[in-house]
Amino acid sequence: MSVATGTITLRFFGALRQAIGQREVGLPWAGATVEEVLRRFADESSEEVRSFIFDRQGRRWRSLLLLLNEEPVEDSQATRVADGDILALLLPLAGG
């Protein structure tokens, strides 16, 4: 397990931004995998925020699009975040 340290930024869009009440948060979790970041963030968040990311069985919704430094995350369990990285969580927008 990596022991890297440093701060990453989670950036939110759409309904998730509204639920969290801010555009982004800084977290000292550099070195973790994207999947670990999401789990940890969900565990420390309200039930409402959590429900945007995971279902009741703890499986991640497929309606969440993840971008690390504006590039698609292809494997959230293999991709690790580094100091200064920005992980964006996007949901589709229904409105028209």
Interface residues toward other proteins, by CB under 8 A: 13-15, 17-18, 23, 51-52, 54-55, 57, 59-63, 65, 67, 70-72, 74, 88, 90-96
What is the 8-class DSSP label of residue 32?
S
Nearer to other proteins, 8 or 16 (CB): 16
Least Å distance, CB 93 to other proteins, is 3
Nearer to other proteins, 3 or 93 (CB): 93
Q: Which tokens belong to 63?
A: 């309606």
Total Cβ atoms within 10 A of residue 29 = 20
Least Å distance, CB 58 to other proteins, is 9
Q: Which tokens belong to 73?
A: 């995350």
Least Å distance, CB 5 to other proteins, is 27
Nearer to other proteins, 1 or 94 (CB): 94
3-state secondary structure of 18: helix
DSSP character string of 52-77 = HHB-TTSPBPTT-EEEETTEE-S-TT
